[in-house]
């Protein structure tokens, strides 16, 4: 099976053809060949879509992997596990019983909601939208219908219309949790994250609580709030890769490191790519270390490399994106070990390890201690903040072990 994509980028008010990707899937292997377009290479402000995987050059770039044959920048815009589940079911309900390729998944989500600034179509197509989902992003008032559709998917009772509604979800942020893109009341894009029927605690309350505490701790974080839908709490996260209608290029830390799903790296490795690619490296290094401290203090243990992002700053460099997918995990569910180790010293979510690594983040001991104090003060108020957002007493008791470091 062979497929070809034209790859466009929204850049400086224009939609530009930046390259082509030829994808080949065989029985036991898959590969792709990417080439920048001559038009993009001669553009004055051209930049590499993916510095590690797609350097700006006039030679083709080959990608061959058992995990993904898409270069990192393209892979970052593909649907996550929840989205892939929706796509598979949508194709099946449409009568297409076949093995889906990475290109099928990539093109199945709505163009308007795709994360970052890349846009795709096949050469014979005249639109960036395809016929599997609906093109209009549902407004906030449609949340009840979206919650019902997500429930139906979880019980294997969904209709084709349910799937079309949910396939507006264009962000890979959030993993396997049920979610959808929505248009907020001010017209901006947001991600609505829904409760699962088998949740034994309110994941929505936990995430929004962590996002508020992170902001209070001085961390640049995506805006988040809770919305009640018939007595069920939905987390609403504002998209940070949009400035009005302007799309902002996005890369995960995994891609900027040149890695694949399942590969391991440390926060000190992320610090190194910040030194290489950030236009404000010291600021981003301090910000990243503050996030490390926060993750330790709130037991945000699912801090894998896809859960760290970068936004293009229009100066040929990349900046840390706002923090996202902050989910405190109670101690009884998982030992305090970070998915991304602080350094090679080990996986423990431990302030001592963080202090040992502080010099890698351009911090002296006094600066590091001040950041710990700032973050600790913000996190110490978690019970009051939990009460303010309506967390139940039962959920507060469950989450206590996540927020009470060292107890």
Q: Are strands 179-183 and 224-229 parallel, antiparallel or unpaired?
A: unpaired
Q: Which domain holds residue 351?
A: 243-403
The answer as to whether 72 is a domain residue is: yes
| pLDDT at 133 exceeding the cut of 60 | no
Average pLDDT over residues 319-332: 96
Inter-residue long-range contacts of 384-392, CB under 8 Å, 24+ positions, other chains counted:
385/209, 385/212, 385/213, 385/216, 386/205, 386/209, 389/205, 389/208, 389/209, 389/212, 389/226, 390/205, 390/226, 390/233, 391/202, 391/205, 391/209, 392/202, 392/205
The answer as to whether 300 is a domain residue is: yes
Residues 373 and 330 placed together within one structural domain of the fold: yes
The answer as to whether 303 is a domain residue is: yes
Residues 214 and 170 placed together within one structural domain of the fold: yes
The pLDDT of residue 170: 58
Residues 17 and 85 placed together within one structural domain of the fold: yes
Residues 189 and 274 placed together within one structural domain of the fold: no
The answer as to whether 135 is a domain residue is: no
| pLDDT at 331 exceeding the cut of 80 | yes
Residue where one domain finishes, among candidates 193, 220, 238:
238
List the 189-193 sheet strands across, edge first: 179-183, 189-193, 232-238, 224-229
- Provide the CA 43 distance to its chain's centre, in angstroms: 29
- Phi, psi torsion values for 183, nearest 5 degrees: -100, 120
Instruction: Encode pLDDT of 51-99 as tens digits.
Output: 999 999 999 999 987 778 999 999 999 998 899 999 999 899 888 888 8
Q: How many CB atoms lie within 10 A of CB 168?
A: 23
Residues 190 and 76 placed together within one structural domain of the fold: no
Residues 219 and 256 placed together within one structural domain of the fold: no
| pLDDT at 130 exceeding the cut of 90 | no
The pLDDT of residue 407: 59
Residues 93 and 167 placed together within one structural domain of the fold: no
Residues 254 and 399 placed together within one structural domain of the fold: yes
The answer as to whether 132 is a domain residue is: no
Q: The CATH number of the domain where 200 resides is what?
A: 3.30.200.120
Residues 153 and 226 placed together within one structural domain of the fold: yes
Report how far residue 71's alpha carbon sits from residue 270's, in angstroms, rounded to the nearest whole number: 19
Report how far residue 78's alpha carbon sits from residue 237's, in angstroms, rounded to the nearest whole number: 19
| pLDDT at 265 exceeding the cut of 60 | yes
Report whether 140 contacts 183 (CB < 8 A): yes
Give Dmax over CA atoms of the chain in angstroms.
63
Residues 88 and 11 placed together within one structural domain of the fold: yes
Residue where one domain finishes, among candidates 193, 218, 238:
238
Residues 108 and 187 placed together within one structural domain of the fold: no
The structural domain count of the chain equals 3
The answer as to whether 126 is a domain residue is: no
Looking at 158-280, list the stretches that DSSP marks H as alpha helix, in order from N- to C-terminal side: 160-166, 203-216, 253-256, 267-277
Confidence of residue 318 (pLDDT cuts 50, 70, 90): very high
Report whether 293 contacts 371 (CB < 8 A): yes
Residue where one domain finishes, among candidates 193, 215, 238:
238
Average pLDDT over residues 372-391: 98
How far apart, in Å, do the first and last CA atoms of the chain sit?
56
pTM (two decimals): 0.95
At a CB cut-off of 8 Å and minimum separation 6, what does 254 contact?
72, 76, 260, 261, 263, 265, 304, 305, 306
The pLDDT of residue 315: 81
């Amino acid at each position: 099976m062979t497929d070809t994509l034209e790859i466009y980028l929204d850049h400086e008010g224009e939609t530009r053809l930046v390259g082509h990707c030829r994808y080949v899937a065989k029985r036991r292997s898959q590969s792709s060949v990417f080439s920048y377009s001559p038009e993009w290479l001669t553009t004055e402000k051209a930049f590499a879509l993916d510095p590690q995987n797609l350097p700006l050059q006039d030679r083709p770039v080959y990608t061959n992997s058992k995990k993904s044959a898409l270069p990192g920048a393209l892979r970052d815009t593909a649907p996550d596990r929840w989205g892939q589940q929706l796509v598979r079911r949508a194709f099946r309900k449409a009568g297409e019983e076949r093995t889906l390729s990475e290109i099928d998944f990539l093109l199945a989500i709505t163009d308007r909601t795709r994360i970052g600034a890349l846009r795709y179509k096949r050469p014979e197509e005249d639109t960036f939208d395809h016929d599997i989902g609906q093109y209009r992003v549902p407004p906030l008032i449609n949340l009840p219908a979206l919650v019902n559709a997500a429930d139906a998917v979880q019980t294997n009772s969904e209709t084709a219309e349910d799937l079309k509604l949910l396939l507006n979800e264009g962000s890979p942020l959030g993993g396997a949790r049920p979610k959808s893109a929505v248009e907020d009341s001010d017209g901006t894009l947001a991600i609505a994250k829904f409760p699962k029927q088998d949740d034994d605690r309110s994941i929505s309350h936990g995430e929004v609580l962590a996002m508020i505490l992170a902001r209070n701790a001085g961390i640049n974080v995506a805006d988040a709030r809770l919305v009640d839908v018939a007595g069920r709490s939905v987390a609403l996260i504002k998209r940070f890769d949009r400035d009005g209608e302007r799309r902002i290029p996005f890369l995960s830390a995994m891609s900027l490191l040149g890695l694949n799903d399942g590969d391991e790296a440390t926060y000190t490795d992320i610090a190194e790519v910040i030194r290489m690619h950030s236009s404000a490296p010291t600021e981003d290094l301090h910000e990243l270390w503050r996030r490390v401290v926060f993750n330790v203090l709130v037991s945000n243990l699912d801090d894998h490399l896809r859960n760290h992002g970068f936004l293009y700053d229009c100066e040929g460099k990349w900046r840390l994106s706002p923090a996202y997918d902050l989910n405190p995990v109670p101690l009884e569910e998982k030992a305090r070990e970070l998915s991304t180790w602080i350094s090679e010293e080990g996986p423990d979510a431990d302030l001592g390890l963080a202090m040992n690594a502080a010099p890698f983040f351009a911090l002296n001991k006094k600066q590091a201690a001040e950041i710990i104090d700032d973050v600790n003060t913000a996190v110490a108020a978690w019970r009051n903040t939990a009460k303010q957002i309506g967390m139940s007493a039962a959920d507060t008791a469950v989450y206590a072990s996540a927020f009470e470091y060292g107890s």
